[in-house]
Structure 1
């Protein structure tokens, strides 16, 4: 049972709340609580190190939940390719309290017609450090009470370390069809320019031998209104980029294979998105609100204190909701509802390493 439980925790550790699904700028933030994971009976002085790689290609356009396949058929779709890597570290300050930090990097490409004078398709790029997160979490149970399950609450800070005014070359947009250097689209900016607060929770529960339930929840509060980065969009109300909140929720079951020590499978659901309005502060400027609901199968394998995890969330529902500017600019004769491109699936591959002080726990020597 110890082997299965440690596999589960490190499997969740290796898998980030890895956002970013397309034109809806759900960035690659990870919940502090599960950024690098902790055994639910942790020991003071334990370390966890992890890294996570994620990839997606978005190209299917949605307005609300309605797909617009003609965009692909006509060759007018916007395509985003996104690669991201997170490096994470966690340290157990006590049997319950832990501190974490996560340093993400990203490389993005975006192919479109409309951003290049609608004459020919070109690429824009961004790459480098994204927004760093630091924080702490607290397991509510310890000792024997935590053997069959536990719940952790966390709070953190998102620092505006990523470039939120990353620029690239745009063609056919200057005088006489010349090219200009402009900020890239909000969906591939490396940061949002805001100092944010993250509220998080994670938990697990043993149902029976080798079968566990898990969940991760995350909300990013971004009080800043806009970040000053120009969008060059037609509507004046969308001239500057917004600094939006974000949210995510994962829940499912994990099954450990007793006959193959360290091997486990998971199946769950996943919700992530950008709200229309922020919980704190104003919500002006340009944003593409929306959400994705996915089914999330996964496989993990633990060898010693190292666990490798592969998760592939597959989108079931994609919804580009109406923004505040859509609502404000609509009239009885002109209903506005912006669109966004979404991915079919997301690939997450993570590796987590737990470094224990090797002290006695209810499971034996760790």
Structure 2
């Protein structure tokens, strides 16, 4: 017979599987995660419960790909683009009822980008961006009654992404003006804090007990961004006349899916191992897909470990990429048709992503959901 703390640990261990889209490289416009935050356990709330959390993420992208083929000469020739990305998600979730929950995620970012081609190809220089990113609001609902389906459940959610992040962050670019002078220009879209569009997110998450202390989890989200472009100039047309169709920034959709196994190691520690697939599509589901974007996707192995004590929890997971792809964009295909020459832009990807989360539950009924008696059957036990 399990204890309440053991149940809480199993539920909390799902936190190490963040439903996150953080774009391991310069594929996505900016860091993004589901509107309901990054932890399933944060959505298993009693009526009146709050859970506050903070997630920190970091990656360094520098490996260039066209299609699924890496371009190792970019690193050996010192022409690679390097992005350093730091992001902090501050979230608060609330149990409206035992099955209906709501949440807000307030993200902040600090980005750094090093390149040659953006500075006249004469010398390597840095550009920066920082500040508030796009705030997300959302609601979700557990489809099955948790008290009657303790061994597994699934939830569906809807969210709204607000264009609160700056999508016209600027910095100094060198050797690009008259007589190789410097100019203030918008930074690359991969480090813009926001994208400039209202978005709608849909998400799904589930868990199921397989045996004592062992469970399966999964879920995913899709961000619908109806706005086609945000009007911000990229200056890519100054690099080559054939890039005229990439002169303004696109506002692309994004998505992420993940699944895996979790295991309760002890009364305070849990571990998991899963896979995640995330990316930016070539074309949006709703609205046009013109303007400049770097579509791409990453398939990663996602190990993690977590620790819980009372209402406090901390988790660490490190997704490691083993397949990266930068497909042809809409503008690549347009240019190929016009010129008759094959074209596939490249993108830089990271080898791994570091994700560290901290959360605390308070208010309402602090017993972990579902509330149980000491002699009752618990979730995750067949």
Q: What secondary structure does 1:193 align onto?
A: coil
Q: Could you say which residue in structure 1 is the equivalent of 2:8?
A: 6
Q: Could you say which residue in structure 2 is the equivalent of 1:346?
A: 353
Q: What secondary structure does 1:82 align onto?
A: strand
Q: What CA deviation, in whole Å up to 9, does each residue of 1:231-255 have, x standing for no partner?
A: 0012111000000000000111110
CA positional deviation for 1:327: 0.7
Q: What secondary structure does 2:308 align onto?
A: strand
Q: What CA deviation, in whole Å up to 9, does each residue of 1:116-170 have, x standing for no partner?
A: 0000000000000000000100011224323101101000000000000000100
Structure 2 residue 330 is the aligned partner of structure 1 residue 321: no
Is residue 21–residue 255 contact of structure 2 (8 Å, CA) maintained in 1?
no
Q: What secondary structure does 2:147 align onto?
A: helix
2:234 alignment partner, one of 231, 235, 243: 231
Q: What CA deviation, in whole Å up to 9, does each residue of 1:146-197 have, x standing for no partner?
A: 3101101000000000000000100000111110000000100000000000
1:179 alignment partner, one of 182, 191, 207: 182
Q: What CA deviation, in whole Å up to 9, does each residue of 1:198-249 have, x standing for no partner?
A: 0011111111110011112010000001001100012111000000000000
Change (3 A) 1:355 1:364: farther
**Counterparts of 1:110 and 1:177, CA distance in 2:** 20
Is residue 48–residue 353 contact of structure 1 (8 Å, CA) maintained in 2?
yes
**Counterparts of 2:7 and 2:282, CA distance in 1:** 38
Change (3 A) 1:49 1:8: farther
Structure 2 residue 137 is the aligned partner of structure 1 residue 134: yes
Is residue 200–residue 217 contact of structure 1 (8 Å, CA) maintained in 2?
yes
Count of paired positions: 363
Q: What CA deviation, in whole Å up to 9, does each residue of 1:48-106 have, x standing for no partner?
A: 11100000000000000000000000000000000000000000000110010000000
Structure 2 residue 197 is the aligned partner of structure 1 residue 194: yes
Q: What CA deviation, in whole Å up to 9, does each residue of 1:234-286 have, x standing for no partner?
A: 211100000000000011111001xx311001000000000000000111100
Structure 2 residue 297 is the aligned partner of structure 1 residue 295: no
CA positional deviation for 1:342: 0.2
Q: Could you say which residue in structure 2 is the equivalent of 1:46?
A: 49
Q: What CA deviation, in whole Å up to 9, does each residue of 1:305-356 have, x standing for no partner?
A: 1111100000010000100111111147410000000000000000121225
Q: Could you say which residue in structure 2 is the equivalent of 1:363?
A: 372
Is residue 37–residue 103 contact of structure 2 (8 Å, CA) maintained in 1?
no
Change (3 A) 1:241 1:95: same
Q: TM-score, normalised by structure 1?
A: 0.95
RMSD of aligned alpha carbons: 1.7
Change (3 A) 1:7 1:182: same
1:150 alignment partner, one of 150, 153, 164: 153
Change (3 A) 1:5 1:65: farther
1:1-366 mapped onto 2 (5 Å cutoff): 1=2, 2-13=4-15, 15=18, 17-25=20-28, 27-38=30-41, 42-234=45-237, 235-257=243-265, 260-331=266-337, 333-355=340-362, 357-358=364-365, 361-364=370-373
CA positional deviation for 1:31: 1.7
Q: Which residues of structure 2 form unaligned runs of 5+?
A: 238-242, 375-382
